[in-house]
Amino acid sequence: MQLIYEQSTPGRRGVKLPKTDVPAASALPESLLRKERAGLAEVSELDLVRHFTNLSRRNFSVDTNFYPLGSCTMKYNAKVLENAAALFAPFHPMTALLPGGEEFCQGTLGMLYDLGQLLADITGMDEVTTQPLAGAHGEMTGIMLVAAYHAAKGNKAKKKYVVVPDSSHGTNPASAAIAGYEIITVPTAPYGDMDLELFKKAMSDEVAAVMMTCPNTLGLFNPHIKEISDIAHSFDALMYYDGANLNAIMGKVKPGDIGFDVIHVNLHKTFGTPHGGGGPGSGPVGVKKALIPFLPQPRIVMDSAGKLLLETANPGTIGRTANFFGNFGVMAKAYAYIIMLGREGLIQVSEQAVLNANYIKEKLKGHYDLPYDMTCMHEVVFSASKQLEHGVHAIDIAKFLIDRGYHPPTVYFPMIVKEAIMIEPTETESKATMDAFIEVMIEAAQTAESNPQALHDAPLTMPISRLDETKAAREQNVCCAW
């Protein structure tokens, strides 16, 4: 397909601007002006609409295809949420930061406050900041809160390490590194979770925090989690909960109840806000009381009369992590989702997410190697090791699925499983959809034995076949030439 720039005709425009109602300003000095106009597209409105409409048709999406991408919680995004978020389009964030401005923003500040309260209840935390803009941003904020906590106790120099399991998301160690910590990685035991004995050996007074996902990236709930948090606390290390997998446990278990001190929540996973082709997400952070003094500013607080105010001058704060109050539009959707589903609805979400993952696990475990064969939570991780005997890799199975109209599961993650295929169906998929997917997965396994070349050749039905990624990395052509 042509690029928008290849469809440009000099002088053509896609929109008519408003007429001016004031005199023209005097010209700026030449030294401040650009020599040439920025080379943006010059297309009519219809050409623009066709271009982007046709581009959109080159995507698989939740609304067009089953999208069982493990660890990403690609659930259906309710349409009313889009309408709800649009209601807040006109509100300027600076209004709230003006002197006395909170008074004019009680609705939006109140919604953020209420969302914080709801998330605090769901996660068992004492307070939530809605400022972090995504999951990884929440992790960074959370670990900075941990660092501030240790610094306030005079332990900044002593606390050097953050402990993570080897199955953790890459963002965990990367976020801890920004907060100034070195990383200790603990291997996974044959029972599918961080090896308890090795964990004990890794722990010392120098550990600032332990970052866990629970259920972990294998989709397994760690039965030793309380013991782990007790051990961590005995060294004054805080427990960090990566909320990526919260969809499995709503109403069933609260991270705050089992020893976690700080948590981020991915609203775009558990709370039904769309993923937008990579963002925007939203990553509110919940904390226990001991960490409240360090929360980012401005912090939304409620006075005794129920009025929302912004606290902007707390000496203990880690500061600002984003320019305003977080991705408000995303939070409006998550808030609407929570109040719409309500208590029973959220419990049902987790129950059916877990039911669906276990159903797929049972149906496919005869066809694919299941390295950790036990009851899973919301996702299940297979290995294509059986298929590898025929020269077929997880990526080949992924590409075969594309030809059959399925977005592939996550492949090659977690890294601890060879040829990993990580399936997260989510609660919004019907049995019929999953049965059809299971059939195609079985067909892929059979084809791996009978005709591996067919899998190597896939996909054949897309506008493009497999791409030369080495060429892309070598040539670094990241911008259309002028």
Partner 1 sequence: MNDSHYCPHTPEEIQEMLSAIGVASVEELFAPIPAELRATTFNIPPGMSEFETFSRMQEIAGENSQGMTHFIGGGFYDHIIPSVVDHLANRSEFYTAYTPYQPECSQGTLQALFEYQTAICRLTGLDVSNASLYDGGTACAEAAMMALRVTGRNKIVLDCCVSPFSRQVLKTYLFNLDVEIIEIAPLNGLLDRSALAAVLDDSVAAVLIQNPNFFGSIEDFSALAEQVHGVGALLIGSVYPISLGILKSPGEIGIDIAVGDGQSLGNPLSFGGPSFGFIAAKKTFIRNMPGRIVGETVDRNGTRGYVLTLQAREQHIKRHKATSNICSNQGLCALRGLIFLSSVGKEGLADLAGLNRDKAEYAKAALSEISGVTLLQAAVTFNEFTLVLPKNAAAVVAGLLELGIAAGVPLGQYYAGLENCLVVTVTEKRTKKEIDLFAKELEVALCN
* Of residues 259-288, those binding partner 1 (CB under 8 A): 274-282
Position 235 contacts partner 1 (CB under 8 A): no
Position 154 contacts partner 1 (CB under 8 A): no
Least gap, CB of 392 to partner 1 (angstroms): 17
Interaction pattern, residues 351-370, with partner 1; x per rule: CB under 8 A: xx-xxx-xx-xxx-------
231 vs 389, which CB is nearer to partner 1? 231
Least gap, CB of 283 to partner 1 (angstroms): 9
**Residue with tokens 């912090």, as numbered in its chain:** 299
389 vs 410, which CB is nearer to partner 1? 410
User: CB of 392 within 8 A of CB of 443?
Assistant: no
Among 328, 368, 372, 382, the residue binding partner 1 under the rule CB under 8 A is 328
Least gap, CB of 396 to partner 1 (angstroms): 13
Among 293, 345, 371, 452, the residue binding partner 1 under the rule CB under 8 A is 345
Residue 350 CA neighbour count, 13 Å, CB half? 19
Position 330 contacts partner 1 (CB under 8 A): yes
Position 253 contacts partner 1 (CB under 8 A): yes
Position 420 contacts partner 1 (CB under 8 A): no
Q: What are residue 143's DSSP bridge partners? A: none
For residue 384, give the DSSP letter.
-
Element (DSSP H or E) covering residue 148 = helix 135-152
Least gap, CB of 9 to partner 1 (angstroms): 10
User: CB of 64 within 8 A of CB of 403?
Assistant: no
Report 186-215 residues binding partner 1 (CB under 8 A).
Answer: none
Interaction pattern, residues 444-473, with partner 1; x per rule: CB under 8 A: ---------------x--xxxxxxxx-xxx
Q: Does residue 453 come out as left (phi exceeding 0), alpha (psi in the -120 to 50 range) or beta?
A: alpha
- Map residue 206 onto helix, strand or coil: coil
Among 200, 230, 234, 340, the residue binding partner 1 under the rule CB under 8 A is 340
- Map residue 358 onto helix, strand or coil: helix
Position 252 contacts partner 1 (CB under 8 A): yes
User: CB of 407 within 8 A of CB of 440?
Assistant: no
148 vs 445, which CB is nearer to partner 1? 148
111, 113, 115, 121: CA torsion to nearest 10: -150
N-term to C-term CA, the chain:
18
Amino acid identity of residue 458, one-letter, is: A
| CA separation for the pair 323, 97 (Å, rounded) | 11
Position 348 contacts partner 1 (CB under 8 A): yes
Tokens read off for 407: 């977005």
Report 46-105 residues binding partner 1 (CB under 8 A).
Answer: 48-49, 51-53, 55-65, 67, 69, 72, 74, 76-78, 80, 82-85, 87-101, 103-105
Residues 6 or more apart in contact with residue 425 via CB below 8 angstroms: 66, 68, 353, 356, 357, 359, 360, 434, 437
Among 20, 154, 304, 315, the residue binding partner 1 under the rule CB under 8 A is 20
Report 374-393 residues binding partner 1 (CB under 8 A).
Answer: 374-375, 377
For residue 432, give the DSSP letter.
H
Least gap, CB of 450 to partner 1 (angstroms): 22
